[in-house]
Amino acid sequence: MASEKLPWIVILLLAIVSPRIEGIGVNWGRAASHPLPPSKVVEFLKSNGITKVKLFDTNPEVLESLSGSNIDVTVGVPNSMLRSLNSSFKVAQSWVHDNLARYFSDGVRIEYIAIGDEPFNHVYGDQFFPFVVGAAENIQTALTKAKLAGRVKLVVPCSFDAFQSESGLPSMGHFRADVNRTMSELLKFLTKHQSPFFVNISPFLSYHSNKNISLDFALFKETARPHKDSRRTYKNSFDLSYDTLVSALSSAGSDKMDIVIGQIGWPTDGAASATSSNAQVFMKKFLEHVRSRSGTPLRPKEPPIETYILSLLDEDNRSIATGNFERYWGVFTFDGQAKYQLDLGQGSRKLVNAQNVQYLSSKWCVVNNNQNLSNATTRALEACSSADCSALSPGASCFNLSWPGNISYALNSYYQQHDQRADSCDFGGLGLITTVDPSVGTCRFIVQLRTSSSASFFISHWRITAATILLWLVGGGF
């Protein structure tokens, strides 16, 4: 009889002693000129076994599409609302009523509310973070009054530059001096409400900006030179960053706080090291690391309780302030086609692409070689000022296009962005509409999606600075 009961005892013991890992999710951003319809996205989320999704807002169409899906949802409060939410309980109460209450009754499984999007990021200065705790407290009170406090937790996604170690040693990690006081208040709030610490970690950005981080170290490769911190050995960039945060939390008196990785990924274009092959290596190794439950040197056998991959889809309206690679974080292309194979929850099966995607007509805008091309570069610069030419940047997939192929790429990007209107391929007679796909090698001339919101985009998201364009020119772009 004892032998028959042993498996149940073992299962019980494992449940008690094993670290709590609640799943792998994805960030679903919508900074796209022609986004996939939410219902179609939810279809292929479910087809790929993805059970958690993190949003950056409370878009009604998106939340309605998640109703009854059994997908756990994190919704976002934009940074622009933090000041008003901090100063007014009525604003917080209205936000909860308008953006949360009805969706709970409609079967949307909202798990977290993210207060801001990296409000501690150093590029914002003190524009947002001083209002984080006040905004969180007001929303928490509003949730209590709406009898929703027990169903959802408040969190604050923190950028990896909110903590640091001047020596590069994880054991010396601490929060930035300018955010220390607010961070201390935030940690008290999170502890009081048993909420985890959300952090965005980017081995890609660490490699991109830190000469002491090698590509092999960022990609979890066994050939990487390990980093030493006293008796601890670090074999990859993720563990190094993670334990720097663990030390920062410990120094602030929150050494036992659960950690959630709010964003982590590897882009596939826009920079020399941003390739699909590198992305696949990184994501595969990272997910193996998390699922092994091995933890890190400072938290052995205690991996993050949840992880959200950056990102589900490419977003051509995403800000490129930190680099052109920002538009290529997706595991899937903008139209929902897998770039590489990865186990997101579907097991040994291949990733399932979005089905029955509706595109605009198979038409492209290219240079008319029968015209005078003396002003072609000027026309291309005009096109790129309000279209996505990030793939033409140094190291990107279309950088090696010869002239005038690169001009054609710019013209087509503008043409697709403007829903293939005939006048958007004029360019003073320089443009020519063709039904022959001009794609070359890995450089894809896209055909945009047919969406109801095709025309509603914000040019301000697209603006590429004159300095950036000049860099492309110097690098041989045009």
Cα gap 424→269, rounded to integer Å: 26
Answer yes or no: are the C-beta atoms of 231 and 276 closer than 8 Å: no
Q: Where are the beta strands (DSSP E) in 265-375?
A: 306-309, 364-367
Helix axes 405-417, 376-384, angle to 10 degrees: 40
Which is catalytic among the residues 43, 118, 315, 326? 118
Cα gap 321→344, rounded to integer Å: 29
Respond yes or no: is residue 118 known to be catalytic: yes
Helix residue spans in 292-419 (DSSP H): 376-384, 405-417
Task: Look at the alpha carbons of 263, 268, 270, 274 in this order and tell me if their dihedral is positive or negative.
Answer: positive
Task: Report the DSSP pairing between strands 72-77 and 109-115.
Answer: parallel
Strand order in the sheet with 23-27: 153-155, 109-115, 72-77, 52-54, 23-27, 306-309, 259-264, 197-200
Task: Report the DSSP pairing between strands 197-200 and 259-264.
Answer: parallel
What are 92's two structure tokens?
């917080």
Cα gap 135→137, rounded to integer Å: 6
Cα gap 196→156, rounded to integer Å: 9
Cα gap 447→355, rounded to integer Å: 16
Answer yes or no: are the C-beta atoms of 176 and 164 closer than 8 Å: yes
What are 219's two structure tokens?
């990609």
Q: Where are the beta strands (DSSP E) in 140-193?
A: 153-155, 163-164, 174-175
77: β partners: 115
How many residues does this entry show for the chain?
Answer: 478
Nearest by Cα to 236 from 277, 269, 284: 284
Helix residue spans in 300-401 (DSSP H): 376-384
Active-site positions read 118
